[in-house]
Structure 1
Amino acid sequence: MSNEPVTVGDKAPDFTLQASRGRTVSSADLAGKPYLLYFYPKADTPGCTTQACGIQEALPALGKLHLTVIGVSPDPVPKIDKFADKYGLEFPLASDPEHELADQYGTWVEKSMYGRTYFGMERSSFLIGADGRIKAIWRNVKPAEHVALVEKAAAEL
């Protein structure tokens, strides 16, 4: 696990992950293209559904900005597939069950609920430019505000 979370200007960590609908997503395939990695805690929960559906609705606008979107959670692929099918999510949802990519981005964090502490995924997003460097970071993003923040920053790339 990295001690220092990534910051704006850093080279985005490399990755290859299994994703929804039999896809594999990788940083190598995205070389030379801008993309958004958004980390979410758990498929088919209220906040994650709001966030994913917001992104799905914004795909045409994000596509005009040439932005690829990839959602990342610790969920196994079958659960992600069910989530994608239920809500018609066309963009890839990647499975990071060992939270290796989340660790590199500093999104696998200690959380607390009802006096119990545990590790889980922080809802955060990272905008990566065509040069492979991180252009914007949103940590603890609110699901309903996510798309507007991303669209604004992507338009400025």
Structure 2
Amino acid sequence: MKKLLLPLVLAGVLLATLLVSQSSSSPSLRVAYVDVEKATESYYKWQDLNEKYKRDYSFYQNKLKEMEDELKKMQEEGRSQEEIQAKQKEILSKKAEYENLLKTEYQQKIQEVMKEVVSKIQEYASVMGYDLVIAKQMVLYGKPSYDITDQVIAYINQK
């Protein structure tokens, strides 16, 4: 926690110094902040990806449920301990395989969507003439009038 606090404080002091020096020499500095998490979650591509992930996750959960039902049936039928343990190992193996498949498929896609959101925020800031846009998560205090999250969400969702 202390390791994280020091860089944040230094960044805040540096930003304050920058803003004070800029405000005295150039009163037209345009600063805003964006809730990047909210913008990302509101982005239609993120929502589409999330829906696809939920479908795939549900598909794999159903496959595992079928295997667990088979295991219960085997136990009810009084199958040997070796057969039951083999089925349990198979279930665990399939669970790990499915988790790995989901991670492999979606990790890259998540990164791509997040990069796209950041790129669109930068594009919006440039088009609107902002000199500095900060992630809301790094802002200790900011007037709500400096929050451009809703405008960014509208911008990134233009198709």
TM-score range, shorter chain: under 0.3
More strand by share: 1
Q: Which TM-score applies when normalising by structure 2?
A: 0.23
Structure scoring higher RCO (CA < 8 A, sep ≥ 6) equals 2
Structure number with bigger Rg? 2
Q: Which TM-score applies when normalising by structure 1?
A: 0.24
More helix by share: 2
